[in-house]
Structure 1
Amino acid sequence: MILKSRDKPILAMLEWIRVRLMTRLYAKKEGIEKYARKLCPSIQDKLEKLKVESRPFSATPVGSFLYEVASQYERHVVDLVKKTCSCRYWDLNGIPCKDAITTIYTNIDIPEAYTHPCYHKETYMEIYKEVLPPMPGQLEWVETGQPAPLALHIYKPPGRPPKQRKTALDEPKNPYKASRLNRPVKRGKSKKKGHNSRGCKAGITRETPWQRRLRLEREKTARGSVLAPSTKSGSAPQAAP
């Protein structure tokens, strides 16, 4: 989100980040106040997809709020009191899985009532109720009488400043980006693995350009003599009938 401001000076970058966060918090707060449903929009969309996927499932009551849910390929145990399912999806995410949704509808209830409170609209509004206070301009700042800080002389290296930040050694990598680590290197022309174009030895000889030119001329002359028709001295070619 802050890639647009990483090449700016430190004060300009921090000011850009402050304004960006201030407007983002206000937009989030205004958007959730206009939302009419109980769950957050993204969680509600995910729950609607699970409702469609739960249609082939059937629930069989076993005990008090205990059901066995089965489909053509799988079977799980759902407990509505503990809000658990043997598939572990509901336990880990707090969102009812396909088996739990089938059980909830069999129990004549709605899945939104069994979703974790952290996904509710009230929780979302509680998070974004605080706003960043606006800041007056530099002309309205209080004078302290202290000497003005001097900027340090920073050596600017040649080239364009980088926008991507440096990652730590223990920071997890991007799971959606293919890594080139432990991937066998393959030469494009020779189609052999274990080296690249710099280390490829295919087609490399120790002859100088002058020796290579003479060799190619000799090979061209030899091919011309082989392809030429062989004629005997003193014999004329016979005319066609």
Structure 2
Amino acid sequence: MPLAASFISNSDPNHWANAYFSGERWGIVNNNQAENWNGWVKDARSLPVPSMIDHIRIKIMEMLVKRQGKSLAMTGILCKKILKRLTINHMASRSLKYCRSSSTAFEVYDEDKSYKVDLQYKTCSCKAWQLEKLPCKHACACLESKGYSVYEFVDPCFHIDTYKQVYQFTINPIPSFDEDFDLYDACNAPPDVFVNAPDSRTRPGRRKTKRIPSEVQTRKLKCTRCGKPGHNRRTCTQPI
């Protein structure tokens, strides 16, 4: 499709290709945040707007309390799962050999390959340190040779203190949900304050609760010669 090829070649890959994403990943590549949210609030999606908002408020309020209690039981520097991953990397670094290039740069040998590690910029040529924000096994070997603590080179995102700060806030109860509140004077409010309901018609039948798969997920390759899926015209062996 020449039009599609032209569109892709003229588009910035940072906006559509995971490989060129310029933001921080912390070891996670996930494109279905909207689907996760819709699944989490599935019970509230069919409710009227005021009830739906209040239902979501209660779910978030309960989640914050649950994770606040979980954070109080945490001890140490890193979260449990991150500490386990770091321990695996540190144990794997024991068998690696390395040579110093400078006070912060190293060349690490892992089987038949070599990797460059820079402790100053927290980088490794295997790219794992940059993507996961966690010292890889090559970096762990260099940090141990310098006598540094690996905890100091882990991104603050994985620290227990950061986890506690994220969930330190609370949502106050609303005892009078059905009571009318005068938030502003409707006569003096600017026009852009009001959000009117969309002018749309309700379709007949029961509302769908499951996500509709995209065409890319459901589309199957069909042969233009015999019309059967699973192969193309060049590899077709079906008799006509």
Same fold? TM cut 0.5? yes
Residue 179 of structure 1 corresponds to: 217
Amino acid at match of 2:78: L
Pair 1:39-2:85 in alignment: no
Q: Is the 8 A contact 1:184 1:194 kept in 2?
A: no
What is the rounded CA distance, in whole Å, between the counterparts of 2:82 and 2:58 in structure 1?
28
Aligned match for 2:104, one of 56, 65, 70: 65
- SS at the partner of 2:68? helix
**How far does the alpha carbon of each residue in 1:141-169 deviate from its partner, in whole angstroms, 9 at most, with x for none?**
6589x9xxxx99x96544432224679xx
- Structure with bigger gyration radius: 1
Residue 194 of structure 1 corresponds to: 227
What is the rounded CA distance, in whole Å, between the counterparts of 1:66 and 1:84 in structure 2?
10
Residue 227 of structure 1 corresponds to: none
Q: How many residues align?
A: 179
CA 1:115–1:162 in structure 2 vs 1: closer, same or farther (change >3 Å)? same
Residue 22 of structure 1 corresponds to: 61
What is the rounded CA distance, in whole Å, between the counterparts of 1:52 and 1:162 in structure 2?
50
- SS at the partner of 2:53? helix
Aligned match for 1:162, one of 205, 208, 214: 208
What is the rounded CA distance, in whole Å, between the counterparts of 1:99 and 1:79 in structure 2?
10
Counting only pairs closer than 5 Å after superposition, residues 147-158 of structure 1 correspond to structure 2 as 157-158=203-204
Counting only pairs closer than 5 Å after superposition, residues 94-105 of structure 1 correspond to structure 2 as 94-105=133-144
CA 1:139–1:184 in structure 2 vs 1: closer, same or farther (change >3 Å)? closer
TM-score normalised by structure 2 residue count? 0.61
Unmatched runs of 5 consecutive residues or more in structure 1: 168-172, 187-191, 197-241
Identity %: 26
What is the rounded CA distance, in whole Å, between the counterparts of 2:44 and 2:53 in structure 1?
8
Amino acid at match of 1:77: K
**How far does the alpha carbon of each residue in 1:127-185 deviate from its partner, in whole angstroms, 9 at most, with x for none?**
222211111134666589x9xxxx99x96544432224679xxxxx8xxxx8343x323
TM-score normalised by structure 1 residue count? 0.61
What is the rounded CA distance, in whole Å, between the counterparts of 1:98 and 1:164 in structure 2?
43
